[in-house]
Amino acid sequence: MKTSPKRSLIVSFAALLGIVSIGFLAGGCASAATIASRNRSDTLITAKVRSALAADNEVNSFYIGVTTVNNVVTVAGLVDTKEQRQAVAQDAAAVGGVSSVDYSLIVD
């Protein structure tokens, strides 16, 4: 059975479209996996920073919030002294995986 050129072109186009679609889906899955991995890493860093602050006797961590996005830790809240503010920044920076620390700590 002989295939017409038009039919061959349609079949080739459909095959190409299927390959491209699979490529997009695979790329999307990889991106979702990467994002999920990054979120787990950020969550773990946040927990470690909170633990470090709770373990530091010089810091009252009750009034300090911690968030992490792309390994950048943000600490915000109230501290009693400038020394406590410095201790919070040092505690956060000492946690493994932290790329930088942004802080908005108010000395009260």
Query: Concatenated DSSP letters for 27-84?
Result: HHHHHHHHHHHHHHHHHHHHHHHHHHHHH-TT--GGGEEEEEETTEEEEEEEESSHHH
Top-confidence residue, 21 or 71? 71
Q: What is the pLDDT of residue 17?
A: 43
CATH architecture of 5-107: 2-Layer Sandwich (3.30)
Residue with the bigger pLDDT between 86 and 34: it is 86
Which residues are CB-contacts of 48 (< 8 A; sequence separation ≥ 6)? 95, 96, 97
pLDDT tens digits, 39-89:
789 999 999 999 999 999 999 889 999 999 999 999 999 999 999 999 999
- Compute CA 17 distance to the chain's CA centroid, rounded to the nearest angstrom: 33
- Mean of all residue pLDDT scores within the chain: 79
Which pLDDT value is given to residue 78? 92
